[in-house]
Structure 1
Amino acid sequence: MASLLSSVRVGLRAGCRTMSTATTTQPATWTHNSLRTGVIARKKGMTAMWDEWGVRIPVTVLQMEQCQVVQVLNEETHGYTALQIGSTDRTPKNVTKPMLGHFERAGVEPKRKLFEFTVTKDAVLPVGTELVASHFVPGQFVDCSAPTMGKGFQGAMKRHGFGGQPASHGTSVTHRSLGSTGQRKDPGKVFKGKKMAGRMGGEQSTVQNLKVMKIDNALNLIYVKGCVPGVDDQFVKVRDAIKKRGNKIAPTDLLPLPFPTIAPETVKAMPRELVAKTGGADPYVMSE
C-alpha cells in the first residue's frame, strides 16, 4: 500500500508503466466518509454464473485496459478534489499535440478515453498509478455509467411506452399513433417537454447498486450482476455505489475496502479468481 503513495514518474515509451519509489508516505485509512476513485472499463458482453445452490445469475463482463491516473485536480487550483483517469493506450500519431503534451507531462502513455472522478482528499493517488480489477472486491456494490444504445428515430409507443390507439373497428392506420398532443384554444399550444416521437437512446445512463460477483486478476475482468448500459466494447465508468455508503457498500467481513486502491504486491499474492459469497438457505428446499 505504501508503494502506491510514492511519487510516480513513468517514461513516455511503449511498455513503460513502472512506479518510482523515491519518496514514501504513510497509507491513508479508509473511513465511512471516504470516497475512492472509480475506474474505466470496457463492456465485453453478458454471460451467466451459478451459485452453490445452482441458481443462475446473469452477469456483465467488464475489462480494464491500462487504467491509470493521468491528472490530480485539487481545491487550490480547480476548486474541487478529483482524479482524471485514462484508459486504453493509443498510438501517439492519432493524438493531438495539446493532448500529447498533457500525457507527456503526466508521464503516461496517450489514452483513448479520459474521465474525472470526484474523491475525498484522503483518497488522492499519485499520477501514473495503475488501477486493476482488484480495486473492487467481490460482494460489494458499484454504479456503472455509460451512453445507452442508440435506437434512432422512434415512435411514442417504443420511446415512451404509450399504449397506442384501439386496435378495433373504426381505427384506420393509426394503431401506433401518438394521439392528441395539445388542448383547445386555451392554451392553444403544445407544452415543452411533451412525450412525442423522436431520437431514442444514446444518452448517458447510470445503473446503480450492481453487485460485483467475481474478479479475474489475470485478465483484469469485473463480473457485475445484471445489465450495464451501452453496446459491447463501450467504455463504462465503474465506481463505488453512491447510495450504499459506509458499511452498506459491502459485507462487513470485506471491509475496509482497498484504500485508496490495492497494492500491486497484494495482487500478485492473490488467486486468479475471487468469487462473491452468496450464502443463505437453499432456495429449492420447500419449508415445512
Structure 2
Amino acid sequence: MKFILGEKLGMTQIFDKNGNVVPVTLVHASPNVVAQIKTKDRDGYAAVQVGRGSAKRVSKSVAGHLKDLGAVRTLREYRDNDSKLERGALINVSIFAAGEKVKVTGISKSKGFQGVVKRHGFHGAPATHGTKHAHREPGSIGATWPQRVIKGMRMAGRMGGATISVRNIEVAMVDAEKEIIALKGAVPGRPGTVLAIQTN
C-alpha cells in the first residue's frame, strides 16, 4: 500500500492532452519519515506510523519516541500487513503516478452552528399560505407516543470539522522536484489542512 501525508495548498486547473480543462487540488507532500513499524505480535495489529513536518516543541513521550529521527509535526498511521519499510525510511511523492486512484482523508471545513436546512437539507415550510416565522424551522420532532425524542433525531447543531474520506480520487499529476501532487477535483478541508493520501 502507498501512503503519504501532505498539506492542502488550494485548487487550480491544468489542461489534459486533448486541451480540456481539468480542475485539480494541489497538495504539498514533503518527504515523510517512517516513525514506527507496528507488528501483530508486539502491538496486536500490523501498521506503519508516518510523520511529516518539523516541530519546535513536543512532549517528552513523543520526543523519546522520535529521539533519533527529529521532532515531527504530524504523526499518522495506516494498516499494512506486508510492509517492506523500515524505521527511518523516507517516503516521497514519487511513489505515486498520474492516473492512479487514491483515497484522501482530511478534516472538513468547519461551518459553525447551522440550522436543519443547511445541515441536513430540510426543505423548510411553504413560503406562503399561512406560514409565519417558520420558513426554516425543523417541524415536528416526535409524536405523542413514545413521549420522548428518538435518538439520532436530526436537529440544528455544529456542522463540519469532521474527518472525511473520499475514495477514487484520480492523481492528475506528480511533480517530484517541487514535492507537489495534483488530485483531480476537490478534497476535504481548507488550505493548510493535513491530508492522508493512500491507494484504495
Q: How does 1:157-236 map to 2 (within 5 A)?
A: 157-184=117-144, 186-236=145-195
| Structure 2 contact 40–46 (Cα < 8 Å) conserved | yes
Question: Over aligned residues, Cα RMSD in angstroms?
Answer: 1.0
Residues 77-92 of structure 1 mapped to structure 2, 5 A cutoff: 77-91=42-56
Q: Determine the structure 1 residue equivalent to 2:110.
A: 150
The structure that is helix-richer by fraction is 1
Tell me which of 54, 63, 83 is aligned to 1:100: 63
Mean alpha-carbon deviation: is it higher for 160-169 or for 49-58? 49-58
What is the CA-CA distance between 1:37 and the residue it aligns to? Answer: 4.2
Q: Which amino acid aligns with 1:206?
A: S
- SS state at 1:77 partner: helix
Shift of 1:176: 0.7
- Higher strand share goes to which structure? 2
Which of 81, 96, 110 matches 2:71?
Answer: 110
Unaligned runs of 5+ in 2: none
Counterparts of 1:71 and 1:53, CA distance in 2:
44
Structure 2 residue aligned with 1:139: 99
Say if 2:141 and 2:149, in contact at 8 Å, map to a contact too: yes
Counterpart among 17, 20, 25 of residue 55 in structure 1? 20
Residue aligning to 2:30: 65
Question: Does the 8 Å CA contact 1:72/1:124 hold for their aligned counterparts?
Answer: no
Off by >2 Å, runs of 4+ in structure 1: none
1:4 paired residue number: none
Deviations 1:56-94 (A, max 9, x none): 111111111241100110111012111100010122xx1
The structure with higher relative contact order (CA 8 Å, sep 6+) is 2
Q: Secondary structure at the match of 2:110?
A: coil
**What fraction of aligned residue pairs are identical, expressed as a percent?**
35
Aligned AA for 1:120?
N
Q: TM-score, normalised by structure 2?
A: 0.97
How many residue pairs match? The answer is 200
SS in 1 for 2:53: strand
Q: Paired residue for 2:5? A: 40
- Structure 1: give runs of 5+ residues left out of the alignment: 1-35, 242-288
Contact 1:43 1:234 (C-alpha < 8 Å) held by counterparts: yes
The aligned counterpart of 2:81 is: 120
TM-score (norm 1): 0.68
